[in-house]
Amino acid sequence: MPSAKDVRELAARVRRGDRAAAARALSIVTEERPGHEALAGAFFSDHGASHTVGLCGSPGSGKSSLVNRLVTRLRAAGETVGVLAVDPTSAFTGGAFLGDRMRFQAHSLDDGVFMRSLATRGMMGGLNATIFAAIHVLEACGFSKVLVETVGTGQDEVDVAEVVDTVVCVSAPYQGDEFQAMKAGTMEIGDVFAVNKADLPEVERAVAMLKDALSLNPLHDGGWAPRIAPVSALTGKGVAELAADIDAHRAHLASSGELESRRRRQLRRELSLVLSRRLYRDAMARVTDRHIDLLAAKKSSPQSLGGTLLAGRK
Amino acid sequence: MTEVNTLPSHRILIAKPGLDGHDRGAKIIVRALRDAGFEVIYTGIRQTPEMIARTALQEDVEAVGLSLLSGAHMTLFPRVVDLMKKQGLGGVLVFGGGIIPDEDVAALKKKGVAGVFGPGTPTDAIVAFLRERLDAAPKAAKGSRAKR
């Protein structure tokens, strides 16, 4: 267990921009190693230091390739960028192939860029339970933008909207007709809709369908009309415009007062994640074979036992 | 949002240094390690030793597997090991595979490549090697595996 002094020292090194310290801190908070709560607590004060941008979209829509292009653009504009890329953990083996890095190696030697791959480890909704703490580490390390690439889970992947300031939904041509665009889910959370693979001939139809569907939506919080950005991660066309849309959204958040309400929503979400994690872990730690015996003999019910265990009794 | 209690598993980086573009072997290792419960990061082909060392630092991995079929292993493998040491990653396990002549294996091991696995190695043998080396590291020392 690291001492309070260790935690302070590591946090101070991260705040000085030490990349090795940031890598180490990320491991401690995301793997919930001993001392992770103290460390995550130390970084919490950096919440809100960076503009956080989430990218979501179905598998293969080109999120990683687009992140790669966006980072090039952001760097040219003088920004520094931290990237968290989430890929799925196997429910069967606990293993994971974290493949987002492959699209990103052009930036691996740039000191203004830091990328970390994360596995979902059983969390549904496209994000990892410890995502907030990971974001705070990168905020503390001084990156002006933090990009969070969610696992490509599809229609129901809306958690990211409560984690970041700006949500970019990535889609591509040939992903369905206008009725797909009318469904609830990710279509409701996008601040910017990137239609990737704009080098394909069907892109105009995809943009038109998206426009149609979004025109029926009520205006987003604070009067923001979601932007639609056709973009090609393959050729780089449209990346500058996409970056401009993302920055326009950030400016809108500040001028409309929406930033404060989004940040409050993030705080509520972070607190709820910490609570559910702790309650679950603490209650599960009290479960013994005796409880299962009680259930098998029908002498108690999961509901009744659950109440007892949650109340801290055995 | 549902949650299952999954413990963190070992993080491994698989990397292809140098100019050869043949990564079927690397992909098979990635897949085998994933199926054995490891978290595996793959760099893709044509990486410089500098890129690999920097990636190992950012991803804070416990082991780096290098795959090379071009014959440049005697230059590139030790270069990765040296760069990692310079970054304070001397505690990270480095292993390798590809077309490596038997007579080079001892020299590579001397230069810090802890295991060399040629064509025909059962993937189970590589999994067993990693389990033996990584599971043995006590949990408390895990956080300081990279001395920094």
B62-78 pLDDT tens trace: 999 999 999 999 999 99
The reply to whether B36 touches chain A by the CB within 8 Å rule is yes
Spans of all domains in chain B: 11-137
* Per-residue model confidence (pLDDT) at position A181: 61
CATH assignment, A46-256: 3.40.50.300
Q: What is the dihedral of CA A309, B1, B2, B7, to 10 degrees?
A: -100
Residue B136 sits at the chain A interface (C-beta within 8 Å): no
In Å, how far are A53, A64, A263 from A48, measured between CA atoms? 12, 24, 7
Q: Cα–Cα distance between A43 and A134 in angstroms, integer?
A: 9
Q: What's the alpha-carbon Rg for chain A, to the nearest Å?
A: 21
Contact assessment for residue B76 and residue B17, using Cβ atoms and an 8 Å cutoff: yes
Nearest to A122 among B6, B55, B87 (CB): B6
- A23/B59 CB distance under 8 A: yes
**Sign, Cα dihedral of B143, B144, B147, B148:** positive
The answer to whether domain B11-137 has CATH 3.40.50.280 is yes
CA distance A207 to chain B (A): 31
Please give the residue of chain B at the shortest CA–CA distance from A33: B143
Backbone angles phi, psi at B130, to 5 degrees: -70, -40
Please check whether residue B35 touches A, CB under 8 A: yes
Question: B40 contacts in A (CB within 8 Å)?
Answer: 95-98
CA-based angle A88:A55:A277, to the nearest 5? 50
d(CA B58, CA A111): 11
Q: How far apart, in whole angstroms, are the C-alpha atoms of residue B40 and residue B19?
A: 22
Residue B113 has pLDDT above 90, yes or no: yes
b/e map B98-135, b = 16+ CB within 10 Å: bebeeebbeebeeebbebbbeeeeeeeebbebbeebbe
> What is the Cα–Cα distance from A209 to A241, expressed in whole angstroms?
20
Instruction: Please indicate if any CB of chain B lies within 8 Å of the CB of A23.
Output: yes
Residues of B in contact with A98 (CB under 8 A): 39-42
Collect all residues of chain B within an 8 Å Cβ-Cβ radius of residue A283: none
Concatenated DSSP letters of A213-263 = HHHTSPPPGGGPPPEEEE--TTT-TTHHHHHHHHHHHHHHHHHHSHHHHHH
Residue of chain A minimizing CA distance to B28: A97
For range B27-48, the mean pLDDT? 94
Q: A276 — alpha (psi -120 to 50), left (phi > 0) or beta? A: alpha
Verify whether the Cβ–Cβ distance A105 to B43 is below 8 Å.
Answer: yes
pLDDT value, residue A122: 56
Contact call for residues A115 and B58 (beta carbons, < 8 A) = yes
Residue A156: predicted pLDDT: 53
Domain ranges for chain A: 46-256, 267-310
> Are A34 and B140 a contacting pair at CB < 8 A?
yes
| Any A CB within 8 A of B138 CB | no
C-alpha to C-alpha distance for A69 and A64, rounded to whole angstroms = 9
Cβ contact, residue pair A34, B47, below 8 Å: no
Residues of chain A under the 50 pLDDT cut: 124
Torsion of CA B99, B103, B104, B107, to 10 degrees: 160
Backbone angles phi, psi at B43, to 5 degrees: -80, -20
Q: Strands across the sheet with B93-98, in order?
A: A96-98, B39-42, B11-15, B63-68, B93-98, B115-117
User: Which residue has better confidence, B49 or B137?
Assistant: B49
Query: How close does chain B come to A124, measured CA to CA in Å?
Result: 5
* Partners of residue A28 in chain B, C-beta under 8 Å: 143
pLDDT digits (tens, 9 = 90+) for A192-221: 999 999 999 889 988 988 888 887 776 666
H-type alpha helices, chain B: 24-35, 49-59, 73-86, 102-110, 123-135, 139-142
Q: Is the CB of residue A308 less than 8 Å away from at least one CB of chain B?
A: no
